[in-house]
């Protein structure tokens, strides 16, 4: 900015100098011409005035007298006077000896005077080594008798012109200096608001939106100051609004459980939230990354390809490989920049629940249909009057067994639904778990004995348990009955202990074990590893689902360790409640 300003200042100076120089040259020329004209006029007048004297001198014809008169005339007038006869012979000269002077008839002023009465000329005089102005007049005494010539050196004019030039130059310089000073101070005056505005815009650019032009100025600049201040105010308002909006958006995005990722038209990520980073295990912000570098799933690729051709809202499920997580991704087109927002919701639980629900209905129908088919079939057989009494009794027993099974299923289902009811609060009974365990062991001692199994309970000193006595009994029954049912040889052990403020209820057996990949599913309703075997033992597939609910209602958890053909160990960990 400084150099631009200096350049313009120098340009103004140069223009000034050129104008003044031109002015000086023209003025000096005009002054010189005016002076020459004036001198010529004066010399002309002198020739006219001196004409009678000159004619008289010529008439007298005494050369010496004429010469001295001309010399004194020249002295008196301060100029050179020359008297020339009509043949061009110099009769007298106020500054030279006429005898040494050549014929003057061809001098331009004499030639001109011969024809027009007056003649003038301006030329360089070798004799006096200077420019001379010559004015001659034809002397007429009834007829032309000669010429009188007045001349003066132009040094007078030159000195005069030089003086004038000098003074004009000095005046010009003063003028120039004044002009420069005016330009300089005016420019300083003009630059001040510019400097203020520059400082102001720098402040704004640096992010200080509170910067304002405060200095009171008048006129147009004041209006510009006002406008700029208004502009800064608006900028600040817009900035505040935008940053508030952005804060809200960031807040909402980071508070969202769902992952959100916004991409531009080139599918580069321009915004994403924490949940998105967690879902796709990103250590750093994926800003500006290609979406393909972050999500490399075929189903996602298909969704994005569809989005490109059809901008309507779309949804698809993404199965996250071996982790078993399922994300439902929804696409939303953003028309303002032709980008997309992708919202990822973890629907693993929902999908599993849907599957469990569907399985449950299929299993329930199947579980109910099997005994009902048996009952129906045997009842039809029983209608035949020809069957023997032994057969009748056998069929009736089968019908009763299947009815019992139906009753068991219904009873287990009722227990389950009772446990699942949200409003069902657990009782806070105080009791000794050892007593409860003793009861359960006695309940199954006969069954264990029949199968030739050792049924053991290791009792330890434990604090009173606070919880639902009925539920705890149900839990122990289910676990111990499973142990006995799925064990052919060996033992079933029940241990209750307290470690680190937690109850540990362990039911272990030396039975058939559970395949490792089935372990996560055995707590599902109706899930049985081996249907035929379970049913043969009177199992409904609901026992462990009930156990899981009871443990969950008491704020605990169940862990399973099992090895095929070696046995299983169910560990229920329950918190010690104070009341
Ligand atoms: P069920 O009425 O069939 O026993 P549960 O819900 O109690 O139903 O158990 C589900 C399945 O888990 C059983 O069918 C069985 O395959 C397996 N299971 C449960 N406990 C044991 C165990 N102690 N040993 C081996 N398998 C077991």
Give the integer Cα–Cα distance in Å for 380 and 565. 42
Residue 367 Cβ inside 6 Å of ligand 1? The answer reads no
Q: Where are the alpha helices (DSSP H) in 206-316?
A: 219-255, 274-279, 291-294, 298-309
Residue 483 Cβ inside 6 Å of ligand 1? The answer reads yes
Give the integer Cα–Cα distance in Å for 319 and 328. 9
Q: In what order do the strands lie in the sheet with 80-85?
A: 90-93, 80-85, 143-153, 130-141, 118-125
Residue 510 Cβ inside 6 Å of ligand 1? The answer reads no
CA of 171 to the centre of ligand 1 (A): 122
Q: According to the model, what pLDDT value does residue 4 have?
A: 62
Residue 91 Cβ inside 6 Å of ligand 1? The answer reads no
Q: What are phi and psi of 321, to 5 degrees?
A: 55, -135
Residue 423 DSSP symbol: T
Does residue 57 contact residue 72 with C-beta atoms inside 8 Å? no
Give the integer Cα–Cα distance in Å for 537 and 210. 83
Nearest CA to ligand 1 atom 21: 482
Give the integer Cα–Cα distance in Å for 521 and 123. 134
Residue 508 Cβ inside 6 Å of ligand 1? The answer reads no
Residue 539 Cβ inside 6 Å of ligand 1? The answer reads yes
Q: Which of 419, 441, 445 is nearest to 496 (CA)?
A: 441
Residue 161 Cβ inside 6 Å of ligand 1? The answer reads no
Contact partners, residue 551, CB within 8 Å, separation at least 6: 475, 557, 558, 572, 574
- Answering whether pTM is above 0.85, one says no
Residue 40 Cβ inside 6 Å of ligand 1? The answer reads no
Nearest CA to ligand 1 atom 12: 522
Nearest atom in ligand 1 to the alpha carbon of residue 545 is: 6
CA of 522 to the centre of ligand 1 (A): 7
Tokens of 11: 């340009």
Q: According to the model, what pLDDT value does residue 364 have?
A: 83
Residue 541 Cβ inside 6 Å of ligand 1? The answer reads yes
Does residue 570 contact residue 506 with C-beta atoms inside 8 Å? yes
| CB half-sphere exposure, 496, CA atoms < 13 A | 23
Residue 363 Cβ inside 6 Å of ligand 1? The answer reads no
Tokens of 489: 């040889």
Residue 507 Cβ inside 6 Å of ligand 1? The answer reads no
Residue 522 Cβ inside 6 Å of ligand 1? The answer reads yes
CA of 402 to the centre of ligand 1 (A): 20
Q: According to the model, what pLDDT value does residue 113 have?
A: 92
Q: What are phi and psi of 530, to 5 degrees?
A: -125, 100
Residue 487 Cβ inside 6 Å of ligand 1? The answer reads no
Give the integer Cα–Cα distance in Å for 232 and 239. 10
Residue 280 Cβ inside 6 Å of ligand 1? The answer reads no
Give the integer Cα–Cα distance in Å for 539 and 330. 43
Nearest atom in ligand 1 to the alpha carbon of residue 541 is: 8
Does residue 149 contact residue 138 with C-beta atoms inside 8 Å? no
- Ligand 1 probe mutation, 453, 534, 570, most atoms within 8 A of CB: 534
Q: Which of 337, 319, 315, 339 is nearest to 327 (CA)?
A: 319
Does residue 47 contact residue 140 with C-beta atoms inside 8 Å? no
Per-residue pLDDT of the chain (579 residues; tens, 9 = 90+): 455 655 666 677 677 777 877 777 787 778 778 888 888 898 899 889 889 988 988 887 777 888 988 999 999 888 889 999 989 999 999 988 888 888 989 999 999 999 899 999 988 877 666 778 899 999 988 888 899 999 888 776 667 667 766 777 787 688 778 877 877 887 777 777 888 888 888 988 898 888 888 766 677 778 888 888 899 899 999 999 999 998 998 899 889 999 999 999 999 999 999 999 998 889 999 999 999 888 888 888 888 888 888 888 889 998 887 677 899 999 999 999 999 999 999 999 888 888 878 877 887 888 888 889 889 999 998 888 888 889 899 989 989 988 988 998 888 888 888 877 755 667 788 999 999 999 999 999 999 999 999 999 988 889 999 998 888 988 999 999 999 999 999 999 999 999 888 999 999 999 999 999 999 999 988 888 887 776 666 777 889 998 998 999 899 999 999 999 999 999 999 998 765
Decide: residue 577, CB within 10 A, 0-12 exposed, 13-18 middle, 19+ buried: middle
Reduced 3-state DSSP string for 206-224: CCCCCCCCCCCCCHHHHHH
Rg of the chain over CA atoms, in angstroms?
65
- Ligand 1 probe mutation, 356, 416, 477, 482, most atoms within 8 A of CB: 482
- Ligand 1 probe mutation, 514, 538, 558, 559, most atoms within 8 A of CB: 514
Q: According to the model, what pLDDT value does residue 1 have?
A: 47
Does residue 520 contact residue 504 with C-beta atoms inside 8 Å? no
563 - beta bridge partners?
567
Q: Which of 246, 261, 47, 271 is nearest to 137 (CA)?
A: 47
CB count in 10 Å sphere of residue 473: 17
Residue 512 Cβ inside 6 Å of ligand 1? The answer reads yes
Nearest CA to ligand 1 atom 11: 528
Tokens of 302: 């298909």
Residue 479 DSSP symbol: H
Give the integer Cα–Cα distance in Å for 333 and 311. 6
């Amino acid at each position: 900015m400084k150099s631009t300003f200096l350049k313009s200042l120098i340009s103004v100076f140069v223009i000034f100098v050129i104008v003044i120089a031109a002015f000086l040259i023209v003025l000096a020329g005009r002054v010189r011409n005016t002076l020459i004209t004036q001198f010529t006029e004066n010399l002309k007048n002198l020739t006219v005035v001196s004409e009678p004297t000159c004619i008289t001198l010529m008439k007298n014809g005494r050369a010496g007298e004429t010469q001295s008169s001309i010399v004194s005339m020249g002295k008196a007038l301060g100029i050179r006077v020359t008297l020339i006869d009509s043949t061009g012979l110099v009769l007298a000269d106020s500054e030279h000896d006429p005898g040494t002077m050549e014929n003057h008839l061809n001098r331009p002023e004499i030639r001109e005077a011969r024809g027009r009465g007056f003649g003038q000329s301006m030329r360089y005089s070798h004799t006096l080594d200077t420019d001379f102005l010559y004015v001659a007049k034809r002397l007429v005494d009834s007829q032309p008798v000669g010429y009188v010539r007045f001349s003066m050196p132009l040094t007078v004019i030159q000195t005069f012109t030089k003086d004038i030039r000098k003074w004009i130059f000095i005046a010009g310089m003063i003028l120039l200096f004044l002009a420069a000073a005016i330009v300089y101070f005016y420019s300083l005056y003009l630059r001040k608001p510019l400097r203020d505005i520059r400082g102001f815009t720098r402040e704004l650019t640096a992010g200080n939106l509170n910067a304002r032009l405060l200095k009171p100025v008048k006129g147009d600049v004041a209006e510009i100051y006002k406008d700029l201040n208004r502009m800064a105010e608006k900028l600040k308002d817009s900035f505040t609004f935008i940053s508030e909006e952005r804060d809200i958006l960031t807040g909402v995005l980071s508070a969202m459980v769902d992952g959100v990722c916004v991409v531009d038209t080139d599918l580069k990520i321009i915004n994403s939230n924490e949940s998105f980073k967690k879902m796709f295990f990103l250590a750093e912000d994926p800003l500006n990354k290609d979406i393909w570098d972050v999500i490399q799933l075929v189903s996602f690729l298909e969704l994005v390809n569809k989005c490109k051709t059809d901008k309507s809202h779309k949804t698809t499920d993404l199965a996250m490989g071996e982790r078993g997580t399922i994300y439902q991704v929804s696409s939303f087109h953003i028309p303002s920049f032709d980008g997309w927002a992708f919202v990822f919701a973890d629907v693993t639980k929902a999908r599993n629940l849907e599957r469990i629900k569907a399985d449950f209905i299929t299993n329930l129908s199947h579980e109910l249909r099997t005994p009902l088919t048996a009952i129906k079939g045997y009842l039809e057989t029983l209608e035949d009057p020809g069957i023997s009494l032994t057969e009748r009794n056998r069929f009736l027993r089968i019908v009763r067994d299947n009815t019992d099974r139906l009753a068991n299923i219904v009873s287990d289902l009722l227990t389950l639904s009772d446990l699942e009811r949200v409003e069902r609060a657990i009782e806070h009974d105080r009791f000794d778990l050892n007593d409860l365990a003793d009861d359960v062991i006695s309940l199954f001692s006969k069954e264990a004995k029949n199968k030739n199994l050792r049924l053991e309970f290791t009792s330890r000193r434990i604090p009173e348990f606070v919880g639902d006595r009925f539920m705890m009994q149900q839990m122990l029954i289910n676990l111990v009955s499973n142990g006995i049912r799925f064990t052919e040889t060996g033992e079933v052990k029940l241990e209750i202990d307290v470690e680190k403020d937690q109850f540990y209820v362990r039911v272990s057996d030396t039975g058939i074990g559970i395949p490792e990949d089935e372990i996560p599913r055995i707590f599902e309703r109706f899930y049985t590893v081996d249907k035929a075997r379970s049913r043969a033992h009177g199992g409904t597939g609901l026992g462990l689902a009930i156990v899981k609910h009871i443990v969950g209602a008491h704020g605990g958890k169940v862990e399973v360790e099992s090895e095929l053909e070696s046995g299983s160990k169910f560990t229920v960990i329950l918190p010690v409640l104070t009341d």
